[in-house]
Every structure is written in C-alpha cells, then in structure tokens.
C-alpha cells in the first residue's frame, strides 16, 4: 500500500491540538486544506481517526495506538534526511517557531534578534507563549522547534539543554522614605509587595524560596509581566523581587533603585528544549548553539 508521508504531520498536529482550526494554524495551512488531508487519512487507514465532540476532537483507539509509532518514524526520518544536509546561515531562509516565557523574551530575545541580523538575516522567529505546560506549545510533536524557559517534567522525546542560571534582587522606588542602600529581613517582611505571576508551576518558585528562609511577604498587587512592575513601583512604596538580570535592565530607570535581597533566595535555571526529530537538523543545531552562546554572554555580564 502507498502512503502519503505529507499526511503524517497532519495526524500529529491533530493528535496534539484536538482541534482542526488550531492544527491548521500550527501547520501554516488553511482549515479546508487540513480537513481535506484528514479525509485522505481516513480513507487510507479506513478509520475515522478523530471523532468530533462538543469541545474538540477525540482520537479513536487506532489513532491512539498509531501516534507514538508515527512520531518515532518522523523523528528517525528527519535524522536521516537532515543529517545529510549542510547549513549556510548567511544564505538561509527559514521561519522558526519558538515557545518562550516572558523572562526569556525580556532578557534573551533582543540579543538573539541582533545576532541573527548580523549572521543570518533570512531566519525569522515566531514566538508562542509558554508557562510550564509543554503540551500546549506544540513542542512534543515537533511542530514548535524549541521551548525556552523552565522545562518541567519533559517527556522522553524531548531533549533539554541548560542555558544559564539567574538569581533574584529587589527593586523599590528611588525616593523610598524607609529604604536606603539595603533591605533588612524586618523591612522586607513589613513592606507591601508587587508579585509577578507567571503561568504554570513557576509561580510557586519565589514563595518556596521565601518559605525556606522563614520569610513572608504581603502581596499588595499581582501582575502578569515584568514590564508592569516599574510603573507600579515608581508610584508606590512597594517592593518587587525580580530576576537579577531583569533588575539589571531596570537600573537605567532613574525612578527605581535596585538592591540585594535580604536573604539568599538561591537561583533558578533557564533551559531550552526541543523534539528529538531536530537532533540532527543543521539549521536547528546552529541556532541552538547561537542561543547557548548568547545565554553565556548575558549571564556573565
């Protein structure tokens, strides 16, 4: 029997998204084109594969059984084909889809873009939001080429690379009436705080570090992005505890003052992850080496 290999990525995208519209967007094709491909898959395999339900599509038993075999076959096929190719960054034209948390976008993305402009102007990036759930990014099927942030419980088909570590610091307004060149434990505990709430399990990290040191804080306001913090701090007597490299960027703001944390709150890792199918992809290997280089440079500043 003849099989159309172009249909296999469609199957994988539908298994992950369980939604025709989202799967089409992930693959960069129209919804009618994806529906047509699904029809051809059903005809070839003589199985409905995905059953429409109120909130999406449920895979059939055959689809569930086929999924791991198809993902493994695509990974092996990519290794074989891509491993034979060379990569010229200066002449390359390619779109990479990344999933990234707000920290990486703030700290690493500007440097990544700058170096791509210097070395590989034809490479473009498309970023998706990432909290800590890999299943929502497309990375587990390989439709998203890389995840950047904190990688929690990666599956066996994901490769994880440690990029760097960062610590924490405090930021208050420059004219704070009670805080000089440092913050004591007592002052920290007595102050009102601005908390950044990243999505997923990462939100527990700072609270756990504070609890380990026997230190509590009263949160006055919670925001969803680092960029909100300077504006809140500048007009209040609140304190924010942020990653050290984020605080370093905020030193340019004369309204703010950056101080060490009153106790050692440890460090947190920044990581990259990708599907095993990209292991031998020359362009992917070049780009992840570039990101590793940038992370080392940024962390040493």
Q: Residue 97: name the closest of 161, 158, 34, 143 by CA.
A: 143
Query: 200 pLDDT exceeds 50?
Result: no
The pLDDT-based confidence of 226 (bands split at 50, 70, 90) is: confident
pLDDT of res. 55: 76
Q: 165-186, pLDDT tens digit by residue?
A: 999 999 999 999 999 999 999 9
Q: Give the residue-averaged pLDDT of 48-66.
A: 88
Token pair recorded at residue 237: 């007597």
Long-range contacts of residues 59-66, Cβ cutoff 8 Å, at least 24 apart:
59/14, 59/15, 59/18, 63/11, 63/15, 66/11
The pLDDT-based confidence of 17 (bands split at 50, 70, 90) is: confident
Which residues touch 114 (CB under 8 Å, ≥6 apart)? none
Which helix H or strand E contains 192, and what residues bound it?
Answer: strand 192-196
String of DSSP letters for 45-65: HTS--EEEETTEEEEPHHHHH
Tell me the CB-side half-sphere exposure of residue 175, using CA atoms within 13 A: 5
pLDDT of res. 16: 82
pTM: 0.71
Q: Give the residue-averaged pLDDT of 154-167.
A: 92
Q: Give burial (CB, 10 Å; 0-12/13-18/19+) of 8.
A: middle
How many residues are listed for the chain in this entry? 301
How far is the CA of 114 from the CAs of 80, 104, 120, in angstroms? 32, 15, 10
Q: Give the residue-averaged pLDDT of 293-297.
A: 95
Set out the domains of the chain in order of their start, with CATH numbers.
5-73 (1.10.10.10), 89-164+269-300 (3.40.190.10), 168-266 (3.40.190.10)
Q: Give the residue-averaged pLDDT of 1-23.
A: 82
118: left (phi over 0), alpha (psi -120 to 50) or beta: alpha
pLDDT of res. 137: 82
Looking at every residue in the chain, the average pLDDT score rounds to 88
């Amino acid at each position: 029997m003849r099989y159309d290999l172009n249909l296999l990525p469609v199957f994988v995208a539908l298994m992950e998204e369980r939604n025709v519209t989202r799967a089409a967007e992930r693959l960069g094709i129209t919804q009618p084109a994806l529906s047509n491909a699904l029809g051809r898959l059903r005809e070839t395999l003589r199985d409905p594969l995905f059953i429409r339900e109120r909130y999406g599509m449920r895979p059939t038993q055959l689809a569930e059984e086929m999924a791991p075999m198809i993902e493994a076959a695509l990974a092996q096929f990519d290794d074989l084909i891509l491993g034979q190719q060379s990569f010229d960054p200066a002449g390359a034209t390619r779109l990479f889809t990344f999933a990234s948390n707000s920290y990486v976008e703030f700290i690493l993305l500007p440097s990544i873009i700058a170096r791509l402009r210097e070395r590989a102007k034809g490479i473009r990036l498309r970023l998706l939001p990432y909290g800590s759930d890999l299943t929502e990014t497309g990375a587990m099927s390989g439709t998203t080429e890389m995840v950047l942030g904190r990688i929690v419980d990666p599956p066996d088909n994901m490769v994880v690379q440690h990029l760097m570590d960062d610590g924490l610091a405090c930021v208050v307004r420059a004219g704070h009436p009670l805080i000089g060149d440092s913050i004591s434990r007592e002052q920290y505990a007595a102050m009102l705080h601005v908390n950044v709430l990243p999505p997923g399990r990462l939100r527990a990290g700072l609270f756990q570090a504070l609890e380990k040191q026997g230190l509590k804080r009263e949160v006055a306001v919670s925001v969803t992005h680092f960029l909100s913090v300077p504006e809140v701090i500048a007009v209040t007597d609140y304190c924010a505890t942020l990653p050290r490299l984020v605080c370093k960027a905020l030193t340019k703001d004369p309204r703010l003052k950056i101080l060490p944390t009153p106790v050692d709150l440890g460090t947190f890792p920044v990581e990259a992850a990708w599907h095993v199918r990209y292991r031998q992809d020359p362009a992917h290997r070049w780009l992840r080496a570039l990101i590793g280089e940038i992370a080392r440079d940024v962390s040493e500043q």
